[in-house]
Each structure stands twice: as structure tokens, then as C-alpha cells.
Chains A and B, each alone.
Chain A
Amino acid sequence: MFNFFVKYFGILKVVPFAAQLFDTQLRLWELLTLSPVPKYIDDIEGEVLRWPGVDKSIHKYGGLQFNFNGRELGHIHSNGLLDLRFSRAIKEKLLAEGRATEHHIFKKSGWISFYIRDYSDALYALELLKRAFLQNSGRL
């Protein structure tokens, strides 16, 4: 459903607040269906915000965005879709691990996508965010 909307109605993201409104509907759906995803996102948020220099903001296309010294590390849409930006070399390595996929829109970039569905996905998402943090803080 998410991919369908992004594919056919993605153009609407230029309309102010349209993408954020869409993300709120994803959030509503996850909450009403008692999905564990919002809790995983909260847990990830709690952990990531403990890292030095990291803060959060609302992503311009909806969702929770993590920043390191003002630079975006990645963001999680409310349906549990984590998008992260890496160097091309790290991206290739992560794709080879077989869990993350090409970014759902920007395939020819360093961006990757990963769906958080269960607890093990949440742990892997945290690992990916840690790698993005280490890369951006010059420790990787």
C-alpha cells in the first residue's frame, strides 16, 4: 500500500504538508491495528537520542528524522520504513548482507531502505543507525 501511494501519488509531496499528513495516516493505521512498530520506533528513538550530538526533527516527507550536528542520519516513516544514507561502498556491503534494500525511490544513490516489522528488525535498524552515526561522526 505504501509503495502504491508513493509510486502513483508521490508527486503530491510537493503540496505543503501532504506527505506529513500521509505519514500521520500511516501512524494512525499502525496504532489502530495494535502494531508493535510504533513501540519499536519509540525504543529506537530513545536509544539513538542518547548518542552524542544526535537530535531529532520531523522529516520533510513525514516521519521521525535523526540528525547528527544538523546533518541527517536517516529517518523512519510511521509504517516502520527506515531510510538511511551511506557511502556507496557501505551501501553495497549492506545490500550484500541481504536485509536492507535499495532505497524505495532513490535507487542510484547511497540511500537504503529497511522495513522494521519485528523485534529482530528493530535491533538491525538500530545497528544500521549506529553505522550511519559512526560514518557521519568520522568514526567509521
Chain B
Amino acid sequence: MNEVFTPKRLGFLVPHVFAMAVIGLTKYTWVESGVLVFSEFIIVPVVMGIISAWFWRKLALPGRKLSLFVIYNTFIAAFASAVFLGEGSICLLIVSPLIFGFMVMGAFMGAGMFKRNNQKLNVSVIAALMFIFVADSLSTHHYENMVSDTITVNAPPDKVWPNVVAFKRIKQPNKYWLFRIGMPSPVESTVTGYYEGAGRKCIFSNGYIFDERIAAYQPGVNLTFDVTHQPRDPEIMNHIDILRGQFLLKDNHDGTTTLTGNSWYRLYVFPVWYYDIWAESITRNVHLRVMEHIKELSEVGVDSLESKVLSQK
């Protein structure tokens, strides 16, 4: 039995059992439903690193090997998250550098702690980490942000507007690397009517549909819509809610229009200083993909859905 559970192997096993137990405990007990607090991405990996260092303390691992072992542990953590927490691969790709960073920090901290064998220091470090974890888990977590992007369309607002409200399928290949590796990107938008209160759908490349309700409809000026239903998916969308979207058009009086896209979202993963970088980047690229498509449609004078509808009336 001892030959199976060698210290080296235990360093690859016990930290994950610990992490799953802690995350399971927080998920089903005191943390708000669906929220992943910053401690789960910082304190837990640090403690995982310390636990590994405890099992590996007699192996006298040089820095490079210790780091490589932590990379293996990051892969194991990603695999376990996919299996037990149902996380998607892109989500895991995003989180891995953070997990690795704090796990390697913990491993080096642990290597120092157990080398000195200063029990008082060790107990203090663990107690401090536990205190932060509990305090963070019991805190309220709420973060909302807005991303805004602007482009100039070489067409007047009355030509741009119909393409803003609804647009035909985007056929251009994706440029953003996350879309290229499989993250769903917007491809089409439809509406049930051209008035305030009408339903709107934003369809994504994998068939996901965001149901929206038009909250402001001012032709040639402002289209604002509230997201009323969005898909729950392992890839990112389980950790972010898009709350509202908006397109503002400004007539430049020179035959061009300044088109501004705004999106409001709520994040359910913390720390925001890490995840908001990704959320902003993804939202920005959703904007740009749609806005560049609107620009293309408007500039070549493609007939819009609205103009077809209006011409039929």
C-alpha cells in the first residue's frame, strides 16, 4: 500500500481531494448559488501548493521540477473541474494560469515553511489563509460592468439603423482567438417587430439564443434591449450574465455615422481584477464582430430585414 501512496503521488492526489471538498462545501453551503469567490481561485490553490510541498518536502525538488509538478497538478485540477464541476475547456483555459500561479506560489511558500520547520510560522500562515477564505466566502459578491465600443460607418444613420435592429447571418471568419478555438460568437439577430417591447433574438454560432426585449426604440438614434433569457453553458456563460445591450447612432452630418455598442454584464466569478479582463475582452469582441458586420451591410447597401418588412407594408 505504501508503495502505491508514495509521498510524490500523494502530492498529486491529496491537494485535489482537499480542493474538491472545500469547493463542494462552499458550493452547497454558504456561498451564494452560482458564485465562485476569489478564495476558490487564490486561497485554495495556495493551500494546494502548500499541501503538495508537504508531501514533496523530502524529495528536495529543484525549482524547475517543482514548477513542472505544479503544471501537472494544474492539469489534474482542470480535469477534475471538468468532470466534477462541469466546467468547459475554454473556461479552464482561462482559469489555468491563475490556478498555476497561486499553486506554484503555495508550493514555494510550503517548501520554505517546511524547510525551516517553524511550526508557529506554519500555523500562522494556515490560520491567516483560513481566515481570509471564511471571510471572503461569507461576504456578498456583486460586480457589474459596462463595456463600450465605437466605430465609424460610412453610411448615414437611416441606412445603418435597419441593420442594427436585425441582421442577416455573419459569414466572415472569426478573428478573435477565443472564437476561433470554439467559443460561441454572435452570428445573427432577429426581431418580432420594430417597436419598443418587441422581442429580439441574438443567435450564436453554436445555436445558443439570447432572448431580448427592446426597451428603447428610437429609429436612427437608440436601440436598447434587455436580455430576458440566456443559455446556461459550461463555456463562460455560466459565469457571466449579459444584462442589457445598446446601440447608439450619431449622425456625423458628412454621410457617416458613429456607431456605439454598449453592453452591461454581471460577473459571477472572482477576483474581478482577473476575470473582468477576460469579460471585457470577450464582450468587446462580440461588439466588434456585430458592429463590423453592421458596417459592412450598411456600406454595401444590402437590403435589411426592416426595409423589406417596411416595403411590404
> Which residues of A are found within 8 Å of B62, using beta-carbon distances?
42, 45-46
Contact of B108 with A58 in the complex, beta carbons under 8 Å:
yes
Set of chain A residues within 8 Å of B68, measured between Cβ atoms: 31
A-B contact count, CB below 8 Å?
A: 49
If A24-B105, A28-B71, A28-B97 touch, does A42 touch B64 (CB 8 Å cutoff)?
yes
* Distance between Cα atoms of A77 and B226 in the complex (Å): 48
Given contacts A45-B62, A46-B62, A57-B112, contact A31 B71 (CB under 8 A): yes
Interface: A5 (CB within 8 A): no
Q: Which of A15-48 contact B (CB under 8 A)?
A: 15, 17, 20-21, 24-25, 27-28, 31-32, 38-39, 41-42, 45-46
Q: Which residues of B contact A42 (CB under 8 A)?
A: 62-65
CB distance from B167 to the nearest CB of A (A): 37
Q: Which residues of B contact A24 (CB under 8 A)?
A: 100-102, 104-105
Answer whether residue B256 sits at the interface, using C-beta atoms and an 8 A cutoff: no
- Residue of A20, A31, A38, A64 near B105 (CB, 8 A) is A20
- Nearest to B103 among chain A residues (CB) is A24
B82 on the A face (CB < 8 A)? no
Q: Determine the main DSSP class of B at the interface with A.
A: helix
List, in ascending order, chain B residues with CB within 8 A of A27's CB.
67, 104
Contact assessment for B105 and A21 in the assembled complex, using a CB-CB cutoff below 8 Å: yes
Bound-state Cα–Cα, A28 to B100, Å: 8
Determine which residue in B64, B98, B100, B109 has the highest number of CB atoms from chain A within 10 A of its CB, and name it.
B64
Taken together as a complex, chains A and B put the C-alpha atoms of A103 and B286 apart, in Å, by 42
CB distance from A115 to the nearest CB of B (A): 18
CA distance A27 to B64 in the complex (A): 9
Cβ distance B97 to chain A, nearest Cβ, rounded Å: 6
Chain A residues with CB under 8 Å of B97's CB are 25, 28
Complex Cα distance, B108 from A15, in Å, reads 19
A46 to B65, CA, bound (A): 13
CB A126 to nearest CB in B, in angstroms, measures: 15
Bits for A107-134, please: 1 = Cβ < 8 Å to B, else 0. 0000000000000000000000000000
| Residue picked from B42, B65, B98, B100, most chain A C-beta under 10 Å | B100
Which 4 A-B pairs have CB atoms at the shortest separation, nearest pair first?
A38-B64, A24-B101, A42-B62, A21-B101
Cβ contacts A to B, 22 pairs, < 8 Å: A17-B42, A17-B105, A20-B105, A21-B98, A21-B101, A21-B102, A21-B105, A24-B101, A24-B102, A24-B104, A24-B105, A25-B97, A25-B101, A27-B67, A27-B104, A28-B71, A28-B97, A31-B64, A38-B64, A39-B64, A42-B62, A58-B112
**Chain A interface residues (CB < 8 Å from chain B):** 15, 17, 20-21, 24-25, 27-28, 31-32, 38-39, 41-42, 45-46, 57-58, 64
Known: A24-B105, A42-B64, A58-B112. 9 other contacts (CB 8 A): A21-B105, A24-B100, A24-B102, A24-B104, A25-B101, A31-B64, A32-B71, A38-B64, A42-B63
